[in-house]
Amino acid sequence: MTNAGTGSGPHPQRPAFSRESTVLRLPGAVSLEDLSPAWAWGGSTGRGVRVAIVDSGVEADHPALEGCVDRDGGIALHVAADGSVVREPGPHDDVFGHGTACAGVIHSLAPEAHITSVRVLGPNLTGKAAAFLAGLEWAVEQRFDVINLSLGTSKRDWALAFHDVCDAGYFSGCMIVTAANNMFTTSYPSLYAAVTSVACNTTTDPWRFHYNPEPPTEFLARGIDVDLAWKGGGRLVGTGNSYAAPHITGLAALIRSKHPQLRPFQVKTVLWATAANVRESPPIAGRLSRVATRARSTRLTASRLSAIAPQVSARRASTLD
């Protein structure tokens, strides 16, 4: 298993897939103006949303988390000598600090979201793919609204199993947010379409994120030199895609709190529409928002429609399609 970022000071090199904000500017984009940040998460605090962090554990009493962790509802998993996965429900510690760091980022954006720890990594921030898969399966079975995965495995033998559980999560309504690997290597499940894959941009603004016009990573958020909560009630500065992912997780929690009816693909669409480089790009012909606005302004009642010639009605219908 490979982790997607560790705590450290300023990095001499940026993580793989990181991109400068300036190169993320788009020459044009179809933008849905109604899907603004104000509409998406304005006034939201994450209340009512359950977030699972599959990681090294979460230090529930860390002062930065302000009691947002469901300590008793978590679970720790590891692989026994015989290869079986051992599940230990209930309170557990963060054995490294990485999960606490992710929790701190999420809580800073969505302070009323409830966070649950699913510990699958050990003291060296390593673990077994079997425990990782079982932990993700558990989170999907519990139907968490958002699941943060700042870790991954490069073992291809596990690719299909992770693909299946991510699909199961997607169709059951779980928004799975994954960090891309810090190295240019294939990592599962970060590259699946059913998840939301995240790497770093270079902003210092936790609310500023970008749509990536060159997938497989879909979004880029703050992940370089981030001030993080850490094990032992402390803090440190860390860099990695691991810390970009929880920024998107926090925003997803806000969106799902305000708009609980949205499915994962709809939340992903909202994130795309509210990304900085989409909103700041120049308009292009055929902009969807203009079509939508025109449709609203020309909406007719059923009685009015009955007086319109059939060919006009048919033309309007085809336009709205």
Position 306 scores a pLDDT of 31
- Does residue 299 sit in the same domain as residue 261? no
Position 283 scores a pLDDT of 76
Query: Does residue 286 register a pLDDT over 90?
Result: no
Query: Does residue 34 register a pLDDT over 60?
Result: yes
Closest CA to 97 of 224, 206, 240: 240
pLDDT tens string 102-139 = 999 999 999 999 999 999 999 999 999 999 999 999 99
Q: What is the mean pLDDT of residues 276-292?
A: 71
The reported pTM is 0.83
- Does residue 265 sit in the same domain as residue 297? no
Position 77 scores a pLDDT of 98
Mean pLDDT (the chain) is 87
Q: Can you tell me the distance from the alpha carbon of 108 to that of 61, in angstroms, rounded to the nearest whole number?
A: 15
- Does residue 104 sit in the same domain as residue 129? yes
Query: Does residue 7 register a pLDDT over 60?
Result: no
Question: 294 lies in which domain range?
Answer: 288-320
Query: Does residue 237 register a pLDDT over 90?
Result: yes
Query: Does residue 293 register a pLDDT over 60?
Result: no
Query: Does residue 211 register a pLDDT over 80?
Result: yes
Which one is predicted more confidently, 299 or 33? 33
- Does residue 81 sit in the same domain as residue 201? yes
- Does residue 223 sit in the same domain as residue 188? yes
DSSP codes, 210-271: EE-SS-SS-EEEE-SSEEEEEGGGEEEEEEEHHHHHHHHHHHHHHHHHH-TT--HHHHHHHH
User: What is the percent of the chain with per-residue pLDDT over 70, rounded to a whole number?
Assistant: 83
| Sequence-ordered alpha helix ranges (H) in the chain | 37-41, 98-109, 129-141, 159-172, 241-258, 264-274, 276-279, 288-297, 302-305, 310-320
Query: Does residue 310 register a pLDDT over 60?
Result: no
Q: Where residue 312 falls among pLDDT bands split at 50, 70, 90?
A: very low
- Does residue 106 sit in the same domain as residue 242? yes
- Does residue 209 sit in the same domain as residue 312? no
